[in-house]
Amino acid sequence: MNLSSFSDFLSRQAPHLLPAADVRSNWASAGDAPSGADLPHGTTIVAIKFPGGVLIAGDRRATQGNMIASRDVQKVHIADDYTATGIAGTAAIAVEFARLYAVELEHYEKLEGVPLTFRGKVNRLAIMVRGNLAAAMQGFVALPLLVGYDLDDSDPGNAGRIVSFDAAGGWNIEDEGYQSVGSGSLFAKSSIKKLYSHVTDADSALKVAIESLYDAADDDSATGGPDLVRGIYPTAVLIGGDGAEEVTDERIAALAREVIANRSVPITGTAGRRGSNA
């Protein structure tokens, strides 16, 4: 047994406490066939590198079939001082994944006396994702994006990292400088691709992230855009040499209003007039 791995210890001593186990057992006790489509799902997550760091952001909507299950889901989580995750997929599993991963990193540091290297953090999350493969094949999919600041990199300006995963635990460090997961990822990533040349610092990266989530929400019904009426906005985490910090609602709200204002079509005096020559 690997005592430095909390998730490994949990899988051996109390497997029923793993993220997907509780969901599947509840369905089994109810006598229904498990189906991930019948549970709330969360999307969309974006990650963007900038000089000196990296950010991760997510929308707030969760859907259940063609219904909106929630409008204020927290999909982006700080895992430790220099790492954060955003997980798209079955909402219940995604939240438990994020919590378990944070405990995994803290557990290792307490037992070993030193934090995991960034590559070690990637491998630990990959093992956890692979452990959920059986549930993923039943529709209970939870795919994370991992971002972090690599303290071992000799170039602090290029130490931001973005890692994507597949359902089998395979992972890839993104070299393009941005990535997205979730049902709106195609639209979000296309938006970032066009705007990434404007990313020069944390503020510009945050604005591009909000722009991309706005574009994703415009074309993907499962992605929620900024909600000015309810005051619900995307959430984001910035990570740099000073560590990870959650972006305040006020900062995101101001950028969201700016994006919406720039996208708004002005109403002209002749708009909507018909048959005026009668």
Cα–chain center distance at 42: 9
Q: Is 90 a catalytic residue?
A: no
Give one DSSP letter per residue of 82-133, joined into a string: TEEEEEEEEHHHHHHHHHHHHHHHHHHHHHHSSPPPHHHHHHHHHHHHHHTH
Residue 178 three-state SS: strand
Strand (E) positions, the chain? 41-42, 45-50, 53-58, 62-64, 67-70, 76-80, 83-90, 142-149, 160-165, 171-173, 178-181, 235-240, 243-246
User: What are the distances in angstroms from CA 48 to CA 16, 43, 175?
Assistant: 36, 16, 11
250: Cα separation from own chain's centroid: 20
Instruction: State the Cα–Cα distance between residues 274 and 268, nearest whole angstrom.
Output: 14
As to burial, measured by CB atoms within 10 angstroms (0-12 exposed, 13-18 middle, 19+ buried), residue 5 is: middle
54 closest CA partner among 182, 156, 191:
156
Q: What's the sign of the alpha-carbon dihedral 18, 22, 67, 65?
A: positive
Catalytic (active-site) positions: 43
